Chains A and B, each alone.
Chain A
Amino acid sequence: MSSNERALQQSSISRVLRAGAGLLALAAASYALSFVRLGAFALAVALAIAALKALVVLWVFMQFGRVPASAKLAALAAFFMLALMLSLMAADVASREAAPVPPAAAATRSP
């Protein structure tokens, strides 16, 4: 088949080990950061580190770079659908105008 099949075969062991160590380091950092009072940024920082770890797993362990193009497309399409569903559902809940209780026209005290 194409040459990239052969390239998939050999990926250096030290690269895998370094990636593994990096992942554990990132996890430790995220754990440590969770004790710091970051307030609103806490979730953003944690998710950013998680995204970084995810990229390492995808790129080094799953060799996303050297996978056939159609497989890359499938993965990206799935991620796009996840993001689409998540954003539109959260937007719905966020942008829902709360139904105010109109001031009860008290019969006695209305100005």
Chain B
Amino acid sequence: MTVASEPSFLPAAEPSFARAHTSIRSWLLSTDHKRIGVLYFFATTLSLALGGVFALLLRIEHLTPGPTVMSAMTYNRLFTLHGVTMVWLFMIPSIPATFGNFLLPIQIGASEVAFPRLNLLSFWIYVLGAAFVLLAMWLGALDTGWTFYTPYSVHSPSAVVPTLIGIFIVGWSTILTGVNFIVTVHTMRARGLGWMRLPLFTWAIYGTSIIQVLATPVLGLSLLIVSLDHAFAWGLFDPARGGDPVLYQHLFWFYSHPAVYIMILPAMGVVSEVISTFSHKNPYSYKAIVYSTLGIAFVGFLTWGHHMFVAGMSVFDAGAFGALSMLVAIFSAVKVFTWVSTLSKGSIVLATPLWYVFGFLILFMFGGMTGVAVATMSLDVHWHDTYFVVAHFHFVMVGGTLTAWLAALHYWFPKVTGRLYSERWGLLGFALVFSGFFGTFVPQFLLGNAGMPRRYYEYPERFQLLHVASTLGSWVLAAGLLLTVGYLGHALWFGRRASGNPWASRCFEWRTSSPPPEKNFSAQPELGLDAYDYTTPWPASEERA
């Protein structure tokens, strides 16, 4: 075990990637994976804001059982737009395209992704797809729900086709990014960096890319067929002409269940990194996390039927899907056990990223276990299409991916911007986000138990108290997110300068300057010391924030 030689903490001689060229064109047409990551960051954060506004409007509408601020038509369109914007424009591209793009090449010691031009093309395809979705919104949006179940999605008079074309295009951007990342990890690793020495975030992005490449085309096909049915009434799923709406649900969920793993796997990668860094300890079992990542990536494809227990599927298939769903849940459980065990015998520093990761652990445990509960067939009969399911997937998506996205934002903020944010504001932001989240979605679990169906514009009076509580919670959550935008924006210009390794981490991205130069490493990256080897002391020059 060689003691690490002097790492390059000193500000690099050459300018950082952000300073190298400053013209607008150099940003918009850059093939530098770091700049494309930053472009994705702004695009996906805008989508998050847009989706968040829709969510707040929905919650305000539910303050009273009857009409409150909008008509039924507007409400139905808003909950669909909230779903479409959040799923395809934020959740799926957020961590892989933003932090994956920025960090994957650095974490494997490469200077660039395998196909830089394809990477830039993927970003602009994403923007084109998002433009189509915005055009559809302008044309009056659609009211089919983000699942587009036929036959309603085929007969709905709303702007279904432009939205589906938009998502089809965004899908292609996801596939191309997936191909890019898979080839990068396979062929561009630095010399001597074997598969079993890769950082866990890289493994998470690699697993996500596998799902993106294999699942997204099926979504493309099902949306293409619904568009043809809607535009030309070809009725491929029309029961009068031999079709079967349940087959559409099979095709849709074949994509959409792996899609929820596209959303959660990168979040798990972030959590593995943050826990190891802030407890300054090797992961309790590196292999367990890697194999459960790959396990989720593949077994995630076998379980889509648990969305259709009451949809008219045969009992045999329902039983098979129920059992397979239990199998995939065990991989997430293994990860949670491994994360918690990593903390023991560590040297734990409590900083905002770690607070967000603790928030993630609590919410993901609730979310994951209610997932297992909903996959238990007889319970799903009562809970399906009620607010219980809404609460479950918000616990794993907002409690899981959004919290991990915030953790990643704070953890790699110094690396991307070269600045440090203030921990006090960070903690306050976390407190607001966490309590706001709890206030919003725990009442929705109870609403689901009480039998409140989802996608209801009006609801019986007996549910009003819980709805009001949920709406108040959503305001606190919104306040927390706005506060985060505030102090991170402030830190961008006025934050203290950050060194190459403010968190005293051993991971590879912390062995170059912050922000890194255009070619990621000023000198040949020395990756001799393992990414999670905290046994050797790092030279004194490493300061702590």
Contacts and interface: CB of A to CB of B under 8 A. Distances in A.
B316 interface: yes
A81 B299 CA distance: 11
B210 A77 contact: yes
Interface stretch (B9-17, B138-146, B151-159, B246-254): B246-254
Interface string A91-110: 11111110000000000000
A95 B314 CA distance: 6
Contacts of A94: 314
B214 interface: yes
B528 to A, nearest CB: 24
Given A70-B186, A81-B301, A84-B302, A89 B214 contact: no
B73 interface: no
Interface in A51-78: 70, 74, 77-78
A91 B317 contact: yes
B3 interface: no
B182 to A, nearest CB: 8
Contacts of B250: 85, 88-89, 92
A89 B247 contact: yes
Interface of A, helix, strand, loop or mixed by DSSP: helix
Nearest to B213: A74
B313 interface: yes
Contacts of B305: 88, 92
* Interface range for A: 10 to 19
Interface of B, helix, strand, loop or mixed by DSSP: helix
B340 interface: no
B530 interface: no
Contacts of A70: 182, 186
Interface string B216-246: 0010000000000000000000000000101
A91 B316 contact: yes
Interface residues of B, number: 24
Given A88-B305, A89-B250, A77 B214 contact: yes
Contact of B317 (A74, A77, A81, A95): A95
Contacts of B301: 81, 84
A95 B316 contact: yes
A44 B161 CA distance: 38
A93 to B, nearest CB: 7
Nearest to A99: B312
B315 A97 contact: yes
A97 B244 CA distance: 15
Contact of A85 (B213, B254, B316, B317): B254
A100 to B, nearest CB: 15
A93 B244 contact: yes
Contacts of B210: 77
B349 interface: no
Interface string B301-336: 110010000001111110011000000000000000
Select the residue from A84, A88, A92 with max chain B CB neighbours within 10 A.
A92
Interface in B380-413: none
Contacts of B314: 91-97
A85 B321 CA distance: 12
Contacts of B247: 89, 93
Contacts of B317: 88, 91-92, 95
Nearest to B305: A88
A89 B305 CA distance: 10
Contacts of A89: 247, 250
Nearest to A68: B186
Contacts of A92: 246, 250, 305, 313-314, 316-317
B261 to A, nearest CB: 14
A88 B316 CA distance: 10
B375 to A, nearest CB: 16
Contacts of A74: 182, 213
B420 to A, nearest CB: 40
A78 B302 contact: no
A85 B214 contact: no
A95 B318 CA distance: 11
Given A85-B218, A95-B316, 8 more contacts: A77-B298, A81-B301, A85-B254, A88-B250, A91-B314, A91-B316, A92-B305, A93-B314
Q: Which 7 A-B pairs have the closest CB atoms?
A: A95-B314, A95-B316, A96-B314, A92-B317, A89-B250, A70-B186, A92-B314
24 contacts: A70-B186, A74-B182, A74-B213, A77-B210, A77-B298, A78-B214, A81-B214, A81-B301, A84-B302, A85-B218, A85-B251, A88-B250, A88-B317, A88-B320, A88-B321, A91-B314, A91-B317, A91-B320, A92-B250, A92-B305, A92-B314, A94-B314, A95-B315, A96-B314
